[in-house]
């Protein structure tokens, strides 16, 4: 393409033959090629094709909480964001309304949760089998955008069992934070709720994971 363009420019006398090594002509040719390159990129982006690798850091302003209920009361376990491990190297490929991600994997230490009460925290970690499986892994696979609606496809791994979910999320471009709520049943991960006081206190199998992640990139 570069050779054909050069020949066309010379034939139209827009520039002289570059074999003459005219500096003004060379500079003009370089500008033309640079402009065409930019236009080509813009056209590709307009059709929804692009891919790049971005370093993403989840800051300690982020919040992750897990809420549950028993037949007696409710509980809330908050995650200490200082336990979030490593920056993420995320590969992003765009195709129209779909964004495909690689490397957007968040590793959460089960030991990082605090349920405000020592016994509840102990029971919660027992539910997660924290000693055998010290990490909860959330892998963001895709993000789909249709008008104002954003949906994330998540792969969640708890206690060695993986499940896939579609979760509505909200992204604030001014503060670079993304938040949402994931509803799940612990039985999907082959986990069992503890029973206390001879079975009189029973924890509900359904829990809500609320997240508000502040991103830096």
Segment 197-214 shows an average pLDDT of 78
Contact (Cβ atoms closer than 8 angstroms) between residue 186 and residue 129:
no
Alpha-carbon distance of 109 to 112, in angstroms, equals 5
CATH superfamily of 50-216: Lipid/polyisoprenoid-binding, YceI-like (2.40.128.110)
Mean residue pLDDT across the chain: 75
pLDDT on residue 208: 92
Rounded CA Rg of the chain: 26
The residue assigned the tokens 């692009």 is: 50
Contact (Cβ atoms closer than 8 angstroms) between residue 56 and residue 86:
no
95: its two tokens? 């195709």
pLDDT at 61 > cutoff 70? yes
pLDDT on residue 86: 60
Domain ranges of the chain: 2-46, 50-216
Segment 189-212 shows an average pLDDT of 77
pLDDT on residue 42: 43
Alpha-carbon distance of 177 to 139, in angstroms, equals 17
Stretch among 46-50, 201-205, 212-216 having the lowest mean pLDDT: 46-50
Residues 33-51 pLDDT 10s: 444 444 444 444 444 445 6
């Amino acid at each position: 393409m570069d050779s054909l363009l050069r020949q066309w420019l010379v034939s139209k006398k827009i520039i002289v033959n570059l074999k003459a090594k005219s500096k003004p002509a060379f500079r003009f040719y370089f500008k033309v090629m640079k402009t065409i390159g930019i236009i080509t990129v813009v056209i590709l982006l307009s059709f929804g094709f692009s891919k790049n690798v971005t370093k993403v850091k989840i800051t300690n302003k982020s919040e992750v909480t897990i809420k549950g209920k028993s037949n007696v009361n409710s509980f809330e376990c908050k995650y200490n964001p200082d336990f979030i491990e490593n920056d993420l190297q995320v590969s992003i490929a765009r195709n129209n309304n779909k964004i495909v991600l690689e490397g957007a994997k968040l590793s959460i230490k089960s030991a990082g949760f605090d349920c405000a009460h020592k016994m509840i925290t102990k029971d919660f970690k027992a539910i997660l089998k924290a000693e055998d499986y010290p990490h909860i892994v959330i892998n963001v696979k895709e993000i789909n955008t249709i008008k104002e609606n954003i949906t994330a496809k998540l792969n969640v791994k708890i206690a060695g069992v993986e499940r896939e979910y579609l979760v509505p999320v909200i992204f604030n471009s001014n503060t670079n934070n993304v938040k949402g709520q994931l509803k799940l049943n612990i039985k999907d991960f082959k986990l069992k709720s503890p029973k206390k006081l001879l079975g009189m206190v029973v924890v509900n199998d359904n829990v809500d994971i609320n997240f508000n992640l502040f991103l830096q990139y």
